[in-house]
Structures are given as structure tokens and as C-alpha cells.
A and B are shown apart, each in its own frame.
Chain A
Amino acid sequence: MTLNTNNLFTGAIFVAIGAFAALWAVMDMQVGSALRMGPGYFPVIIGVGLVFFGIVVALQGGEHTDFAMKGLPWRGIILISLAPILFGATVRGFGLVPATILATVSAAYASKGMTLFFAVVLALCLATFCTLVFVYGLGLSLPVVGLWLWG
């Protein structure tokens, strides 16, 4: 049997999460017994189970393939990840329109060959659409333009 880098890595992730959860549950919560299960009982079982299956996954053999974590599309990952963070940070203070524009531009630049013109037009269209649908159509109480911008 030959070990496979991807399965080793996957298994390690599960073992780490499971071990952390089980230890945290033991230290932070009352575990109790089968008769009187405490808040920690179930998480400990799950954590131990995750460690077990993590080991099973890690020991799975398999044909050698390229390591899956190689050649990640970093530009896309960073810009896409940034979009919800920008939205979440600004929607309350700046309002729906600015938050939508920021998130759209960030996400749009994840595709190669994006032009500023295209990104801005797309952002304005989406901001208009979302305002009409979510604020005026569905009546969600989102500020269109937030307090921070009113001064």
C-alpha cells in the first residue's frame, strides 16, 4: 500500500479538527456520563469519531496524483474571499448601494482580464437591481445609503 499525499493531508485536517473539538469539549464543558449526559458528551463522541475517520482517510492508499493544494488560483481566492468581508463591514454604515458596489468590484476582479469600466458598470447595475428588488420590492429594512455617508 502506498500512501497518498492528498489523503494524508485530508486525514490530517479531520484529525486536527476532531482532536481540538474533543479536547475543548473536555476542558470547557461538562461531559457527564451516559446516564446524565452533559453538554460536552456529544461533542466528545463526535470529535473522537472525527479523529478515527481522519486516520482511516489518511491511511487510504491510492494512485499518486498531484497534490491538490498546488497551483491554487490565489488571485481569485483572495478577491472572492474579500467580497463578503467588504460587504459585511460596510453594509450597516455605508448602506446597501456602496456595499454592493465594493463587493461586486472585488469579486469581478477575480476573473482575469477584468476592466475597470466593466466592473463599475456591473456594480452599478447590481446595486440598482438589488435596491429595487430587496429594499423596494421585498421591503427588507436595509439602508440604501447608510448613516456614515450622511455625515
Chain B
Amino acid sequence: MDILSHIALGLQVAGSPGNLFYCLIGVLLGTIIGVLPGIGPTATVAMLLPITFSLSPEAALIMLAGIYYGSAYGGSTTAILINLPGEASASVTTLDGYQMALKGRPGAALSVAAVGSFVAGCVATLLIAMFAVPLTRIALDFGPAEYFSLIILGLVSSVTLAHGSIAKALAMILLGLLLGTVGTDIYAGVPRFTFGFYELAEGLSIVPLAVGLFGVAEILRNLGLPMGNDVDAIKVTSLFPNRSEARASVKPILRGTVIGSLLGVLPGGGALLSSFASYTIEKKLSKHPEMFGNGAIEGVAGPESANNAGAQTSFIPMLTLGIPSNGVMALMIGALMIQGIQPGPNVVNTNPELFWGLIVSMWIGNLMLVVLNLPLVGLWVKMLSVPYKVLFPSIMVFSAIGAYTVSFNSFDVYAITAFGLGGYILIRLGCEPVPLLLGFVLGPLLEENLRRATIMSQGNLSIFVNSPISAGLIVAAAIMLAVVALPYFSRKREEVFVED
């Protein structure tokens, strides 16, 4: 079968010593930033993006992907041992994981989380390998009108599944689209919104934008909060779950994997929503729901599997359609473009070694994470004693170096400050930064397809509803918006995202 030769190709690429090394670096860095609160995968990937200039495309994406799913592992470690989710996607794990730790079962919680994540990672990798090619085939038939509508659907659904005010999120998308128009217009060759700065001729750079929004704005937010550094981690004695714990975990792991794999594909879904949904479902299905919140192992096994599966399958729309579903995927698109690869359905044909190498590397990376994480858990917890006053100046310096090395231009470094301040103000006012980043990345693509479609239809805007596929995508986007606007659903939506 085709899929076997694809996986063999992937193994060959991902198994090369160089790429194994970058995979290891990626998952190690991911674990570290997963453990450390105050720095997330989006900011880290943004800081490291310029460094990947000098790597091969395969090594670059393998490393950046490792950071993303590695951070989910690291986040759950601190969630279980000190009741502090290193990443948002692990916040559900604190509910039962920490309770288990208090009851003397921290090792069982950690190993169930790790094994669940690994199972989920394997299944999700297989799913990507199976569905990626058929999906790209569909997308290859897309004309500009269909592509335009697909991007609209992607943007709209990223909003409806995110939390917070929808109107604000839509405004943030538009702001991102607007920032994406800065630079030279591709058709007419005239400058737009450059205000005389020659540095803007090629558009705003994604590195200072992402570093400012996700790194600097987060630092500013944390400075306003009281920061305690006393960490009381629970000692881990035995890592093995007992027989009844193991048996109770099997089904939640499998269910979590399915839920995560499905939700991960949706834009805006990914790891966070998957873990919340899995927790809710496990609690509903449980024969003893009163145990949830008091150390139910199902409440660790399900969400931890779900968030890892979701993290993996969120690569599907990015790899096959060129549509990012979250902030990290948006940066991956940026990484591809830096490498001179046009993201979209053609990647699988033009760069099969990149495509399959990346997919197989995720499986290898998951294996590395299990092997590394469980025995080294003590080391990761020690990472937490790094005080914040050391951490944030370091983030600032790495961000500055990263932005500078994009094009060895100080303008990009100053842009960090501008985006950091702007982002901080907007976040303080309750606006999420992710929709802005998605809008920024997809903006040029959206405009290009809009213009190509209208040229083809000779200015007739009905082309977007005359094509059945395009019409279907637009209708889907409209339904999503309408549903979220209904009072019943918006109340439910708030319930799902109540974090504690």
C-alpha cells in the first residue's frame, strides 16, 4: 500500500542522525517551556524561527513541532505535582492530577498521563498519515473562490471555538488582516501603509509580531501579578499505576484520543478545547462522577490523551491546506515560507520528504518524551526554581536577537516593543491575540484569492456562492457564527471555558 512507502520515506528522513538530534532538541525545549509558567510554545517558536533559516526545512519543522507537542507533556508534569498548569492545555489536569498526587499517587498520575499521551500521539500520527493525502487531493481542485471561502471558514471557526467575546475576536482577526496588508502590493507593486519606511516594503515580519504579542505582552501581564517562587513539589516515589488504576485508564485514554483527534482538526480547536471536552465527557460517563475533582484517574487519563491527540491532528489543516488552526501552526506556516516553500496542498507532492519526515518525527518525538520525561521528572520540577526575574530578561534578550537576525535590521527589534505594548493593552482589554496572528498570516492569501477570483468572474461577486463547494463553506461559516450568537449556546460556551 501507498501509506507504507510513505512511512518508510518518513522514517528515513526523521531517522537520520541530524534530524533525530533536532527532534530531541525540540522536545527537550518543549518540555522545559512546558514546565515553566510564563512562557508558552507560541513565544518560543517565534523566538527560534529565525534560527531555522540556517537549517534544512525538515530539521526546522521537526524541531519546531517538537517544541509544540513537548510543551504539552511538560505542562502536565507541573499540573500534577504542584497544581500549576505550565500550559493552558494542562489546566484540566490540575483538577484530578494534583488530587491524586496529594493522595500519594503522583507517580501513577504522571505515568498514566505520559502513556495516554503516547498512545494518543501514535494514533493521531497514523490518522494524519491516512487522511492527509485524500484531503490534499480535495484541496488541489480548489480554485481561488473555494480557497477564499475556506480561509473565511477557517478564520470564523477559530473565533467560535476560542473563548472570550466573539465581537472582539472578529475585530482582532480584522486587525490581523490589516497588518497583513502592510508592504508592497503584489499586483500593482505600490507600497501600502509603509509610511515612508523602506523596512516595511516587504511587509511586517512575523517574528517581532509573535514575540511581542505572546512573549512581551505576557511578561508585562505577569509583572502586574504577584509572583511567588516557593514551589512545593510532591515527591514521586513509584511511577507504576496499580492494576485497578491501569484498568480504569484504558477507556478514557481511547476516548480522549478520539475526541482530541477530531477536535484538533478544527481551527481554534487543538489541545485546549480537546482536554476540556474530554474531561466533561469522562465525568458524564463515569459511574462515580463524585470522584471527579477528588483524584479520579479518568480525569487525568482522558484529557491528557485528548490534548496530545489534538496537538498532533492540528497539523492536518496546516500541512494539507495551508490553513493554520492556532498560533503555533501560524508560525509553522511562517517557517515554511522562510524556507521558500509555499504552504498548501502542494507540499505533499513537492516536498514529500518534508511532509512524511515531519509526521514520522512526531511519533519518534512522542517516544522520546515518554522515555525522557518519566525518569527525569525530578529534574523538570527543579526547573521551576528558576526565578522569574532571571527568566523574563532572558526572554527579552532572546526575542531581540531573534527579531534582529530575521533580516539584520534594527527596525524589527523596535517592532517588538510596539507589538508588545499594543498586544498588552488589547489583552488587558480582553482581546485574544491568537485571532490577530491567524489573520496576519492568512491575510495575504485571503486577498490574493479574492482578487484572483474576481478577475476570473469578471467582477461578479456571486462567484463565491455559485460554486457549490465555496457556497457550502460560506454557509458553514455563517451557521457557526449564527449558532454562537444564540444566547443558549453562548452560555454553554462560557461554561466549557470556565477554567476552575
Contacts and interface: CB of A to CB of B under 8 A. Distances in A.
A108 to B, nearest CB: 5
Nearest to B185: A39
B396 A107 contact: yes
Interface residues of B, number: 64
Contacts of A103: 393, 396-397, 400
Interface in A78-130: 80-85, 87-89, 91-92, 96, 99-100, 103-104, 107-108, 110-111, 114, 118, 122-123, 126, 130
Contacts of A108: 389, 393
Interface string B22-45: 000000000000000000000000
A18 to B, nearest CB: 7
Contacts of A72: 224
A118 B450 CA distance: 55
B397 A104 contact: yes
Contact of A18 (B167, B174, B219, B390): B174
B394 interface: yes
A50 B223 contact: no
Contact of A91 (B51, B404, B424, B460): B404
A142 B425 CA distance: 33
Contact of B193 (A24, A130, A134): A24
A114 to B, nearest CB: 7
A35 interface: yes
Nearest to A139: B54
Interface stretch (B316-324, B326-334, B414-422): B414-422
Contact of B429 (A9, A21, A53): A9
A82 B416 CA distance: 10
Contacts of A53: 167, 170-171, 174
A38 B187 CA distance: 8
Interface stretch (B268-276, B290-298, B451-459): B451-459
Contacts of A43: 178, 181, 192-193
B428 A50 contact: no
A47 B175 CA distance: 8
Contacts of B451: 37, 41-42
Contact of B404 (A29, A76, A87): A87
Contacts, number: 194
Nearest to A75: B223
B190 interface: yes
B400 A84 contact: yes
B393 to A, nearest CB: 4
Nearest to A110: B223
Interface in B138-184: 165, 167-168, 170-171, 174-175, 177-178, 181
A134 B401 contact: yes
B413 interface: yes
A53 B400 CA distance: 33
B224 A76 contact: yes
B175 A84 contact: no
14 contacts: A14-B174, A14-B175, A35-B454, A37-B187, A39-B188, A43-B192, A57-B165, A80-B220, A83-B397, A84-B216, A103-B393, A104-B397, A123-B393, A140-B51
| 3 nearest A-B residue pairs (beta carbon) | A35-B459, A88-B413, A76-B223
